[in-house]
Amino acid sequence: MLKITFMGAGSTVFAKNVLGDTLVCDALRECEIALYDIDKNRLSESEVVIRAINKKYNADRAVIKTYLGVENRKAALRGAKFVINAIQVGLYDPCTIIDFEIPKKYGLRQTIADTLGIGGIFRGLRTIHVLKGFAADMEEVCPDAWFLNYTNPMAMLTGAMQRYTGIKTVGLCHSVQVCASDLLRGLGMPTDHLRYKIAGINHQAWLLELEQNGVDIYPEVRKRAFARKDIHPDMVRYEIFRRFGYYVTESTQHTAEYTPYFIKRAYPGLAEQYGVKTEMYRDWGNSQQEYWSHARKMENEPLTHTRTKEFASYILEAMTTGTPFEIAANVLNHGYIENLPQGCCVEVPCVVDAAGITPRRMGRLPEQCAALNRTNINVQELTIEAALTHKREHIYHAAMLDPHTAAELSIPDIIALCDEMIESNAGWIGNYE
């Protein structure tokens, strides 16, 4: 029986989406699902939801098992063919709060703080060593399994797993699937019969080509987008589009903190002008008590599920049946994008089949797009280096090279901020010398 292990099963809604997709797929219905988490209550809540979907949509054909705590981690992983990762080390409280509150003392404002910047750096440091533990267990009890990573910071975590463990790893995100259609929808254009080409890095990939019914519509899209004058949710993305010539995959709120242009103390009205919501993720986190309250009631509510656009179930189906399926995935750059560093983590189209995951070669990005990508890659690579060496200086390097942090703070303030963050995160990242 196919075994699928879900790490971080306390992410109830996400577990519902990904595992629900699996349970409604004909080729995957008779499987064993292992739910793993370190939080008893959240694990049980996810179990309730997954069992309900299994009963309603799958006639209880799947076997559902739960595993609580690090002491049961190997058992959860043993014999798995696929391991889906959705953990959050340190959770919202206290770690996300720390990621926002300490930088704010230095005048550094963030929006999401999970991919780049100070928040992304320390989220990466907290998580990489945990994933190394997963990898060690997997090498012992399921060495041939695929590790499907959904946790941010995507490029840091996926890149570390791919380069420094023996586990077959791929990183998956949500942005590419909806990038082109969302752009067209915002411009009042139809979204059917699209063909597009997207490549770059996670959260900063580029819509390079866009066709509809075999016709290149990118010139018309550029014309309409550049002429748009109304206030809308994608103001930052449109500005990057206007200046760099290509539409970027990730949202305004994310993009604002991956660049040095939009959140600046010297220009206090700039964030509002572009619709940037600083502390957006912090504000979202404050609503999580309501979310968990709702999750606890799911057992008594009518439960529905239709297959989502998340790639996980399609990967499992393609590898199980041999029927090819194309995804966008995060892989090590072995010449797939020629003008990005070799060995960095890139996001490119890939074909999935019984043989595994085969990335497509994309050639060169427009030079200005590659250049912006490289400013982010610097931070990713140095954070990985810091996590592996436990050298404090590499945390400093990552922060000093971060576009937003460097645009706002002096070197002494960056060092002081990092030192305070290291001390506050000591229980999760260990000692850095």
Q: In angstroms, rounded to a whole number, what is the distance separating the alpha carbons of residues 397 and 401?
A: 6
DSSP symbol at 234: T
Catalytic annotation present for 174:
yes
Question: Which residues have a Cβ under 8 Å from the Cβ of 320 and sit 6 or more positions away?
Answer: 2, 27, 28, 354
Q: What's the CA angle centered on 391, arms 388 and 394, to 5 degrees?
A: 90
Instruction: List C-alpha distances in Å: 19 to 7, 61, 78, 279.
Output: 12, 13, 19, 31
Are 157 and 127 within 8 A, CB to CB? yes
Instruction: Name which of 352, 349, 348, 328 is nearest 340 in CA terms.
Output: 348
- Catalytic pick among 174, 254, 294, 334: 174
Are 382 and 414 within 8 A, CB to CB? no
The amino acid at residue 204 is: Q
Helix (H, G, I), strand (E, B) or coil at 105: helix
- Element containing residue 201 per DSSP (H, E): strand 194-201
* E strand map for 294-405: 325-332, 345-353, 356-359
Q: In angstroms, rounded to a whole number, what is the distance separating the alpha carbons of residues 348 and 360?
A: 7
The amino acid at residue 44 is: S
What's the number of CA atoms in the CB half-sphere (13 Å) around residue 245? 9
Q: Residues 50, 52, 57, 63: is their CA dihedral positive or negative?
A: positive
Are 17 and 310 within 8 A, CB to CB? yes
* Residues annotated as catalytic (active site), given as ranges: 174
